Structure 1
Amino acid sequence: MLSPRDDEGPSSVVLFNNAENVQLQDTHIAVTIGNNNTNQNIVINPKSKWDPIELLLHYCALDGLVDSKERYDPPKCAPETREAILRDIIAWAKGGVSTPTFLWLYGSAGAGKSAICQTIAETFRREETLLANFFFSRGAGASGRSNGDRLIPTLIYQLQLNLPETRSFIKKAIRKDRSILTSTRATQMESLFCSALDQFSIRRWFRDLSGKQSRLIILDGWDECQDKEVQCDLLRIIADTTASMSMPLRFIIASRPEAHIRHTFDIHPSLNNGTVRRINLDEDQDARVAIFKFVRTKFRNILETHPLRQHLDPSWPSDQVVELLVAKSSPQFIFASTAMNYISFANDRPDVRLNAIITMAENPPEDPDEAPLENIDRLYRFIFSGVNSKHRSNVWTILGIIHLASRKGFTVPTPSPLFFEELLGVPPGTVDIMLIPLLSVISLPLTREAAIKSLHASLFDFLLDSHRSRDMAINLALAHLRLLEYYGHRVLKSFKPNFYKGVLQHDVFLGDLEAKCRPSIEHITTSALIALEYTSIELVDLPSFDIKLPPPEIPDRHPTLQAVELIELVFSCLVKHGTEQMRIPGLFNNSSRIRFCRSFAFRME
């Protein structure tokens, strides 16, 4: 029985006085006070109802938002650039109900689509009229920014943030059926996003607020959503479900002019009849003026802030040099942006770097019809030629794995300096040194655990196309093989292998290794099988391998035995199906398998 303290009167109860580390949850305590029969029920930490918004968050990709940390220092229009097109887009977004619902903003790689979308998003956010936004990126697979299935939940989450009156509708719908978050994209858009907006819009206060309502939704990098079918499906869903809404919305869809996207805009009934406006940035007459202002601003910043600015003439650079850079850039901002990143590198003289760019740019392209693409390709090749020859193999491996990390369905650790130091077996700081020549096209993180990123989506288009990048093309096979070796070592170092006549034997030591082995086993399987796909000169149809661990509940089967058998099975598949398709003859034959496994044994001795 718990008694009240004498100095606190008959109704005060002290529980667990001077106790430490006491945790009670969902607990009811009956307290008898004095000699009467009155009980007080005390409920400690009652279990609260689950929060539908918290559940919704599990299906979102908030790294794709305009102000996310993942998108730190995003591209945006420089001051006094793209003024005409920005005014045009803003006027459309603020127009009446007669203006088209959709604006398709398209252009080739580096045309400035993301910079325009970022600038528009920031403008409308300041005015509190940005309803939602999402910036796809195929270079950010781990964050979900390339996953089309995360788009609609992310829009729904922003809807209840920016229009709080819709929150109760959304929470009620999820509480009624939480499986709606795993339903089809069309169901989610109709039952959560559109229904919440429709119920909100018929409220009586809508008439009073209609002039202030958020209604612009910006969706950038549409072509960077991983699956083309998903891209088209999302376009159709958004067009169909919003066609008859009470509250008019405006959508900016920004992408490259991919054939499947253009086809969807051309033929889908809800995307024609005046519902779509199109702006082709490759035909923007003001692009040259905008690039000129951008380049001039960047040179002015160099003269004012560069660590070696005292060595620069105040009149540097000449007007002729600026005109040459602008001519090589138009109509693509990416050339000017990449060139200025290269020139402004803090640890070298900007005038020396500018001269190198000019020397490269003054040589005419091999094919005049491909001048815009050839200009950026030659700039990329020039930048990559600065990689130290002794680091080249490792740098190309790093780039290959950065690309693999962005691919849907293929999971590797965060492509951070820390991971690559472990993978390559190099001292801390070495990865940064290797990549310094590429800082105009990639971004090194502030911490060793964060991901290394590409500054331009078009970079890997260049590196993966051997016709464009030539001898600087990435061989993804080498990246896969390096991952295969890495994960294989992680598995094999968990037990002591012995070898006899080319057959892998094993001595099993005691201990439960399943938790340690299983993640590595899954990775080595994926790495080994995908390596086959990318080592052929052209993609080939490969047999489907169904390699899975035996169920862990099988008695008398030690996890290490499972690991050994799995590795044997993987290499058997490689020997059976891979030899004829490999660029390097015999790479995965039986003897190479033995050498591969034996290399791990030597490391362990």
Structure 2
Amino acid sequence: MATTFFPDARDFQVGTLNFNFTSNSHSSSAGGPLKELASRVAVGAIHDSAERCDAPKCQPETRVAVQDDLYSWIVDGDRESEPPKKMTWVTGPAGSGKSAVMGSLAERCAPDGLLGATFFFTSWSASIGRRRKTAFVTTIAHQLAEHREDLKNAISNAIENKPSIFEKNLHTQMETLVLAPLREVALQSDRPGLRGAIIIDGVDECEAEQYHDTTSAGTWAKLIRANAQDQLEILQVLRAASSDPSFPFRILVASRPERVFREFFDPENDAASFAKKLDLHEDYNADVDINLFFEVHFTQIRRRYNLPPSWPPPGAIRTLVENASGQFIYAATVIRFLDMGLREPPKVLLEAILEAGTRVLSSNPLEQLDVLYSHILESGPDPPRSVLWIRAMELLSLSTAATNLFLEADPGSNEGEHLLGNLHSLIRIPRTSDTTHYGAYHKSLFDFLEDPGRCGKLYLEESEICAFIWDQFICACASSVSSGSAHSKVLPTPASVDWFMIRARGIIASRRVESGAVAFSVIWDRLLGSCLACCGPPEKWIVLHNRGLRG
């Protein structure tokens, strides 16, 4: 449509007319700096987000000692240290309850005005913001802006003065969006001082940002960043913040004891920056809390299923507590398994769990969890294929409907429910029509399945998983095309790489795909990024695939 500048004008002349059209690439001019900040936030990573509605919390009256110790440190700090040490590390093995403690601590601090900000990383979130570092500082700054009006104004001014800040590295973002505004607020002596906690959980699950094409076989392929690099960058940024005299908050970092964290928080490397670490497994005896957890939930199950007061049998809880070896994930998994509504009553399920536990003769604290995982997975109708589904879902991270469409060998067979119906205690399974994702309740399930020494005969090589994904991809495409020779078990002979690529892409792009076109496109993008990366170029996959068929 043409633009009219002088509608209905008559009989006039214009000598020299200059128009200057300007645009601002930063949306902060249109929506304001804080709206621009809000668009860069990983909302699901905040402690009370909707995405974390099912996140683990401490059972009432459990983990009281550890929560009290952390709360006391937030309020009082290390009175004997000068300058104050404003950063500490909360650690423990997978399943020891770190995320539950951090979540419960955040809920305890918030009503008292002692919660500055939170960020809960997780590697299986559908939101990339919770898996990577990009939105880390902006999410912290966004919460601080909501903390107090004067801090909100200072952060807004910082963004307005430097609108390109969102494209800078984490150190620059922390200085501009957090530290500089805090210094500005600290100079205003008429306001009470800020205090409280910034709680960061699951940093060990942060994935590395990749700034180059990692699927290429060229020079850039050598520049693949490791997860530990970005995790270390986050730790360094937090240490720099905690060392700033104007930074008023206590920082709590919770993670598993991976090497990058052990080295970073090692007192021999830097004794002046950190308060004493807190190890949930070594510093606290969780047995009493786990015992209470079992007692409360067994009472609920007994009432729900109208079981006699004598259930569970004498010694059962004591045995389960011993089996847990301080791992709350074991206790939570047992309760989910007993209360998932299987055809077998809880009494029978409990007997199976106790019987499985008697086979263990090891000091490994995760051995009982491994036995439990093995028992539950092997209770399904087809354990190997169930594991294939679980590992494929981990790689693809698709919605429920797209996953079913892609992974079911026979469309309409409801294979997902058939394979995973007995695994609700391990896998979060949304409704078929749901747009949310399948997901494990705890990352320790993937750790278990990826370690052949732990999962034994359930172990699958990555090449097997990738071959399965490719196989299902062809099957899914072929099932939606009325004609064509593409099928899932035998590639055309001779098998041409060019034919395979052109055929697969053609199926996706064509109008002949009756359903799931968007899902197929998403799957294809993920295959290029994940499957080709782990099982090599298509030539290698075809060799592996055909070799497997002959075997």
Same fold at TM > 0.5: yes
Q: Which residue does the alignment assign to 1:385?
A: 378
Per-residue displacement from partner, 1:179-210 (whole Å, max 9, x unpaired)? 1101011000011111111211221233xx23
Offset at residue 257 of structure 1 (A): 0.9
Contact 2:402–2:519 under 8 Å retained in 1:
no
Q: Give the alignment of 1:177-188 within 5 angstroms.
A: 177-188=162-173
Q: Which residue does the alignment assign to 1:278?
A: 277
Offset at residue 31 of structure 1 (A): 11
TM-score (norm 2): 0.79
Q: Which residue does the alignment assign to 2:42?
A: 61
Offset at residue 384 of structure 1 (A): 0.4
Percentage identity across aligned positions?
Answer: 25
Q: Which residue does the alignment assign to 1:173?
A: 158
Greater relative contact order (Cα < 8 A, sep 6+): 2
Tell me whether 1:159 sits opposite 2:144 in the alignment: yes
Q: Distance in 2 between matches of 1:527 and 1:431?
A: 21
Q: Distance in 1 between matches of 2:87 and 2:124?
A: 26
Contact 1:104–1:253 under 8 Å retained in 2:
yes
Q: Which residue does the alignment assign to 2:438?
A: 452
Q: Distance in 1 between matches of 2:233 and 2:494?
A: 55
Q: Which residue does the alignment assign to 1:568?
A: none
Q: Distance in 2 between matches of 1:313 and 1:423?
A: 43
Tell me whether 1:217 sits opposite 2:198 in the alignment: yes
Q: Which residue does the alignment assign to 2:73?
A: 92
Q: Which residue does the alignment assign to 1:7?
A: none
Q: Give the alignment of 1:177-576 within 5 angstroms.
A: 177-206=162-191, 209-210=192-193, 213-226=194-207, 227-266=227-266, 272-273=271-272, 275-304=274-303, 306=304, 309-310=305-306, 312-347=307-342, 348-365=344-361, 368-370=362-364, 372-389=365-382, 392-405=383-396, 413-414=398-399, 416-424=400-408, 425-427=410-412, 429-446=414-431, 448-485=434-471, 487=473, 504=499, 524=524, 527=527, 530-531=530-531, 534-535=534-535, 573-575=537-539
Offset at residue 363 of structure 1 (A): 2.3
Q: Which residue does the alignment assign to 2:124?
A: 139
Q: 1:357 to 1:75 in 2, by over 3 A?
A: same
Contact 2:42–2:130 under 8 Å retained in 1:
yes
Q: Distance in 2 between matches of 1:336 and 1:51?
A: 48
Q: 1:111 to 1:275 in 2, by over 3 A?
A: same
Q: 1:360 to 1:487 in 2, by over 3 A?
A: closer
Q: Distance in 2 between matches of 1:202 and 1:579?
A: 66
Q: Which residue does the alignment assign to 1:15?
A: none
Contact 1:202–1:246 under 8 Å retained in 2:
no
Offset at residue 394 of structure 1 (A): 4.2
Question: CA RMSD of the aligned region, Å?
Answer: 3.6
Contact 1:219–1:251 under 8 Å retained in 2:
yes
Q: 1:130 to 1:69 in 2, by over 3 A?
A: same
Q: 1:328 to 1:380 in 2, by over 3 A?
A: same
Offset at residue 149 of structure 1 (A): 2.1
Q: What letter matches 1:420 in structure 2?
A: N
Provide the secondary structure at the position in 2 that maps to 1:121: helix
Q: What letter matches 1:138 in structure 2?
A: S
TM-score (norm 1): 0.73
Provide the secondary structure at the position in 2 that maps to 1:277: coil
Q: Which residue does the alignment assign to 2:12?
A: none
Q: Distance in 1 between matches of 2:151 and 2:4?
A: 35
Tell me whether 1:105 sits opposite 2:90 in the alignment: yes
Q: What letter matches 1:237 in structure 2?
A: V
Contact 2:119–2:136 under 8 Å retained in 1:
yes
Contact 1:417–1:432 under 8 Å retained in 2:
no
Q: What letter matches 2:467 in structure 1?
A: L
Structure showing greater Rg = 1
For structure 2, the residue ranges without an aligned partner over 5 or more in a row are 10-26, 208-226, 486-491
Per-residue displacement from partner, 1:481-511 (whole Å, max 9, x unpaired)? 34434555777878986889766499999xx
Provide the secondary structure at the position in 2 that maps to 1:75: coil
Offset at residue 70 of structure 1 (A): 1.7
Q: Distance in 2 between matches of 1:202 and 1:251?
A: 22
Provide the secondary structure at the position in 1 that maps to 2:277: strand
Q: Give the alignment of 1:36-51 within 5 angstroms.
A: 49-51=30-32
Q: What letter matches 1:192 in structure 2?
A: L
Using the TM superposition, name which of 340-349 and 79-88 deviates more: 340-349
Q: Distance in 1 between matches of 2:64 and 2:518?
A: 55
Provide the secondary structure at the position in 2 that maps to 1:162: coil
Q: What letter matches 1:364 in structure 2?
A: V
Q: Which residue does the alignment assign to 2:52?
A: 71
Offset at residue 438 of structure 1 (A): 0.9
Q: What letter matches 1:326 in structure 2?
A: V
Q: Distance in 1 between matches of 2:90 and 2:278?
A: 5
Offset at residue 578 of structure 1 (A): 5.3
Q: 1:92 to 1:501 in 2, by over 3 A?
A: closer
Q: Give the alignment of 1:6-17 within 5 angstroms.
A: none
Q: Distance in 2 between matches of 1:94 and 1:31?
A: 71
Per-residue displacement from partner, 1:151-186 (whole Å, max 9, x unpaired)? 111111111112232222222222222211010110
Q: 1:432 to 1:418 in 2, by over 3 A?
A: farther
Q: Distance in 2 between matches of 1:274 and 1:154?
A: 24
Q: What letter matches 2:356 in structure 1?
A: M
Per-residue displacement from partner, 1:411-440 (whole Å, max 9, x unpaired)? x533x1453234414327542342121111
Contact 2:124–2:439 under 8 Å retained in 1:
yes
Using the TM superposition, name which of 273-282 and 177-186 deviates more: 273-282
For structure 1, the residue ranges without an aligned partner over 5 or more in a row are 1-23, 33-46, 406-411, 536-541, 543-572, 590-605
Q: 1:524 to 1:445 in 2, by over 3 A?
A: closer
Q: 1:175 to 1:331 in 2, by over 3 A?
A: same
Provide the secondary structure at the position in 2 that maps to 1:467: helix
Offset at residue 588 of structure 1 (A): 10
Q: Which residue does the alignment assign to 1:409?
A: none
Q: Distance in 2 between matches of 1:262 and 1:183?
A: 28
Contact 1:463–1:473 under 8 Å retained in 2:
yes
State the aligned residue count: 490
Offset at residue 274 of structure 1 (A): 5.6
Offset at residue 49 of structure 1 (A): 2.8
